[in-house]
Amino acid sequence: MPGPNSDSDSARDGLVAKESAGDNSAALTITEISQALKRTVEDRFGYVKLRGELSGVKRAASGHLYASLKDEKAVIDAVMWRGTTQRLSFVPEDGIEVVASGKITTYPGRSKYQIVMESMEIAGEGALLALLEKNRRRFEAEGLFAPERKRRLPFIPRTIGVVTSPTGAVIRDILHRLADRFPSHVLVWPVLVQGQGAAEQVAAAVRGFGAMPEGERPDLLIVARGGGSIEDLWAFNEEVVVRAVAESPIPTISAVGHETDTTLCDFAADQRAPTPTAAAEMAVPVRSDLANTLDDLGLRQRRTAMRPVQLGRERLDARAQRLPKPDQLLQPQAQKLDDLSERLRRGLLDKASYGRERLAQLRLSPAVLTRNFREAQSRLAGVRLNPALVTRPIADKRQQLASLARLAEQLHPEKPLARGYAMVLDAEGKAVTSRASAQGKASLAIRFADGELQVVPGGAQKKSVPRPKPPESGQPKLL
């Protein structure tokens, strides 16, 4: 059963909504309450500055930036329109602590409140350094800073490309130092080195030099900027610059800041210079030093070429000093000549003395000479030449020759042919002395006393060829 207040409750919770007389709380639409909340929030928080950590950063296809700002206990959605994001001096990433300025508003479509950011900056140098270290570790993990990727700088580059500001002192220092050391052809690509758009211009310049034709492209690239704070140098820590330097086909020197300044561009480059002036010194050698080196090498070359001649001359002089003097070589022979001359003189004298003595002993006189002549005539007259002494050897030789002719006639190989024997010859006219030798011949000839008969072993006979008769006995035959 209904209770005592059932009538009033049923009137208040009826099926159809009714407005009571004097009711000042008319029902509002969702749009009306959303608009009311939006006006209230925007009026109360027209401009705020929030500090928090970026989370869930993403860019829409329209170019707008959506993210969340959070701290240890709360989170608020954030949005930045495309026109504002183009003025950012850094790339928003998750985990970066920032200070965002803008207005708080609501988004009726999802019943959320959010901040529309009009500016965003990194929250202090500590956060900037933390972002720098985070990016350094990420790029290092990708291998962009690997030592094996570093290339050697050309010794004498013909053309040097410089990416820097055209109005600063950096380009003047580089050009002045190059002129002092080794004048070279320099191409300058003017860029912003600080502020909004600097990173994009530096990256475009590095890629532009690398895209030039092979014959026009510089041999060496210098990315330079003067010193400054970490904020001033931040453009050279941007990812677009680091990747452009790491992917450059041209060997690159990074000369950003002073000796104590370090950027990610320094790690990605092939060589880091502490200052722009030092980069110019690394780029080219000292021409005067090269000239002195060439002169020294030329002198060493000449000395090296003349060294064998000098050593040969020294060896020749040393050996010449060990050789005896010509007069010393001739002294024994001269002494021997003198000795032989003396012996010859004494021998001639002794021979003349001996002949003189014999001549004295002979005591020649006309009578002695006449007697000797007569004795010689008597001996010659006593000698009588006998013809038999000449004819007898000739007769003996003729008899021996006749004996040899008879023996040759009897031993002639064709002599037995007259007695009925035959001789078997091969195609070359050589005698065949065995049956085995005859079977291996294509043709044979049988020689008789009156000619030859050509035969084929196992075949028909060929026509005989008459052969002249052998010489008669007693007549020698020339072989």
Supply the pLDDT for residue 476.
42
pLDDT in the model for residue 1: 47
What is the reported pLDDT for 218?
94
Q: What is the pLDDT at residue 119?
A: 85
pLDDT confidence of residue 478:
35
pLDDT in tens, 95-132: 788 888 888 888 877 778 888 888 888 776 667 777 78
pLDDT score for 222: 94
The rounded distance, in Å, linking the Cα atoms of 451 and 438 is: 20
d(CA 390, CA 179): 121
At residue 209, the pLDDT reads 94
Residue 122 near residue 98, CB atoms below 8 Å? yes
Task: Tell me if the domain spanning 30-122 has CATH number 2.40.50.140.
Answer: yes
User: Please, which residues bridge with residue 58 across strands?
Assistant: 66
The pLDDT of residue 373: 85
Fold exhibited by the domain 151-285: Rossmann fold (3.40.50)
**For the chain, domain boundaries:** 30-122, 151-285, 291-319, 412-473
Whole-number average pLDDT of the chain = 82
pLDDT score, position 386: 66
How far apart, in whole angstroms, are the C-alpha atoms of residue 301 and residue 310? Answer: 14
Q: Give the pLDDT score at 190.
A: 94
Residues in the chain, pLDDT under 70: 1-14, 16-26, 124-126, 363-364, 383-386, 389, 458-479
**Burial class of 13 by CB neighbour count within 10 A (0 to 12, 13 to 18, 19+):** exposed
Q: What is the pLDDT at residue 206?
A: 94
User: Is this structure's pTM higher than 0.85?
Assistant: no
